[in-house]
Chains A and B, each alone.
Chain A
Amino acid sequence: MDKPYFQDIDWPGMWAATTETLYMTAISVVATFILGLLLGLLLFLTGKDNLWENKPVNTIISAFVNIFRSIPFIILIVLLIPLTTILVGSMIGENAALPALIVGAAPFYARMVEIGLREIDKGVIEAAKSMGASTSTIIFKVLLPESMPALVSGITVTAIALVGYTAMAGVIGAGGLGNLAYLEGYQRSQNDVTLIATIIILIIVFIIQFLGDIITSKIDKR
């Protein structure tokens, strides 16, 4: 009670941890968006009664997505250590968290993409076909624009999940606010450090949700 509030906080360190979290989140969101979109499109297109209907391919992708979606993230990080060492060359630092973040989040997002695409009225796809549209035209001019609100709200949810994942990755030495809260806050019993790190994470999450909502409502003309 004697010591002033927040005296333990090393503000430059806190700022550095924040940028590390933002860096990990940003890179993994972009990569997840691209990878998840590809996987989601493949899942959708190879599905029943669809443009590239292909049961074996669909089953394989679906199994892959389900497996990686169900492995708890903290275990996934450990499982991916060999791969990460090959790709990044180290198990420490923000970059070391990226493979696990992307592999963990992309299948999750892929399912959301698939759901978003399934919500498109089949008649609209049929109409495009009846106009003589090729498959690539249908993908880029019908499927993606027509499912855009779902794609954006999906990536918003995924990005927020990724902020949480980065905090977990922090525990195993990836840096960022999670790492700071654990090492400086929890292990050294500096509760104010944990509190501030949590508040910053909350602010990041709120900003992501806010941006996602604005963009979704702006592009949704239904």
Chain B
Amino acid sequence: MISIKNVRKIYSSRQGNVHAVDNVNVEINEGEIFGVIGYSGAGKSTLIRMLNGLELPTEGSVTVAGRVVSKIRGGELRKARQEISMIFQHFNLLWSRTVRENISFPLEIAGVTRKERTKRVDELIKLVGLEGREDSYPSQLSGGQKQRVGIARALANNPKVLLCDEATSALDPQTTDSILELLVDINKRLGLTIVLITHEMHVIRKICHRVAVMENGRIVEMGSVLEVFKNPQQPITKRFVQQVTEPEETKETVEQLIEQYHSGEIVQLTFVGGSAEQPVITNLIRHFDVTVNILQGKISQTQSGSYGTLFIHLDGSKDEIAKAIEFIGTQQVGVEVIRNG
């Protein structure tokens, strides 16, 4: 559906050239939810803007839904943009238009008749759950409602691709979740390909099938979300994964525990997919002569399975502990000793 080949974007400034996007290659499949994560300035914003021609690559080509977006101009590009919609961090609604008129805007651009427009707008309002707010102005809506208008507007012309530019970054966590659920629902119902950029791993975890991690204009890591969670390679990826798997205070807690327990070992277990459902701890206690103390744990759901971490304290004879750790390793559970007792 989307193919980004050898794309570079170089901004020249007085201080020299800046490589905003550096040799990026990505293939995104039809019906996929693809996430790009990175800190601000990583080039993700430039990258997503190349998908609808708001930015042009300095080198390389961008093909979306069979059209070479990086080459076409004028009317052809405008036509293509009707099939590649975008939603924005700050919603970018027209304050001078009501909800209904805002959603109608892309239909006016596409030359849809008034009667058809009314019908389509009604459908969209229902789809995004804004019944009763049709005649409100954006200033009378909450952030979440504004983004719903943004989504309805983006879907008006039945696009093939939806680009989300930090679409939930201006929303509170609860509203973020409801907007993400709406996006998943749309993806399933309409088979829409969604590309989103974000700096929140939570968003990636919750809805993406695949993820690319960007740093300094390059994609440093890419793969299925579960795979990346299970086995992050780059330091930056590890940091992002920690955002969702480890509660903020984990480090402090572990340090405190080390002080507290003078014998035994503190072990971090990592569960991915099916292994998260196995009774590892029960087996551990049954087969080995060790005491298990559960310290802290968390399980996160992703689109392709669950992922979790568990901190436990093992106590007993050195021999038994070593055997126990070895046993956990054979259970498709990641194991890492935090400290030797």
- Which A residues fall within an 8 A CB radius of B? 121, 123-124, 126-134, 137, 141-142, 145-146, 148, 219, 221-222
Contacts and interface: CB of A to CB of B under 8 A. Distances in A.
B105 A126 contact: no
A221 B139 CA distance: 7
Interface stretch (B84-92, B199-207, B216-224, B261-269): B84-92
Nearest to B52: A130
Most buried by B among A124, A129, A131: A131
Given A131-B109, A146-B96, A123 B82 contact: no
Interface of B: 52, 54, 77-82, 84-86, 88, 90, 92-97, 105-106, 108-110, 137-139, 153, 157, 163
B81 A132 contact: yes
8 contacts: A127-B88, A131-B105, A131-B109, A131-B157, A132-B110, A146-B96, A219-B96, A221-B95
A145 B82 CA distance: 22
Contacts of B153: 131
Contact of A131 (B93, B95, B97, B106): B106
Given A127-B86, A130-B81, A132-B109, A145 B54 contact: no
A126 B109 contact: no
Contacts of A121: 90, 92
A48 to B, nearest CB: 14
Contacts of B96: 145-146, 148, 219, 221
Contacts of A221: 95-96, 137-139
Contacts of A130: 52, 54, 81, 84-86, 163
Nearest to B82: A132
A199 B52 CA distance: 60
A126 B86 CA distance: 10
A49 to B, nearest CB: 12
A174 B80 CA distance: 58
A124 B93 contact: yes
Contacts of A219: 96
B92 A145 contact: no
A218 to B, nearest CB: 12
Contacts of A142: 94
Contacts of A148: 96
Given A129-B54, A129-B81, A130-B85, A123 B92 contact: yes
A134 B78 contact: yes
Contacts of B79: 132
Given A121-B92, A124-B93, A131-B106, 19 more contacts: A121-B90, A127-B88, A127-B92, A129-B54, A130-B52, A131-B85, A131-B105, A132-B77, A132-B78, A133-B78, A141-B108, A142-B94, A145-B94, A145-B96, A146-B94, A146-B95, A148-B96, A219-B96, A221-B95
B81 A124 contact: no
Given A126-B92, A132-B81, A146-B95, A141 B105 contact: yes
A171 to B, nearest CB: 42
Contacts of A132: 77-82, 106, 109-110
Nearest to B159: A131
Contacts of B105: 128, 131, 141
Most buried by A among B77, B90, B108, B109: B109
Nearest to A138: B109
B64 to A, nearest CB: 13
A150 to B, nearest CB: 12
Contacts of B106: 131-132
Nearest to A219: B96
Contacts of B163: 130
Closest 10 CB pairs of A and B: A132-B81, A127-B92, A132-B78, A123-B92, A221-B137, A131-B106, A130-B86, A145-B96, A132-B82, A222-B95
B78 A222 contact: no
B79 to A, nearest CB: 7
A147 to B, nearest CB: 9
Contacts of B97: 145
A56 to B, nearest CB: 21
Contact of B90 (A123, A128, A129, A141): A123
Most buried by B among A124, A126, A127: A127
Nearest to A142: B94
B11 to A, nearest CB: 13
B94 A131 contact: no
Nearest to A121: B92
Contacts of A141: 105, 108
Contact of A126 (B54, B77, B93, B139): B54
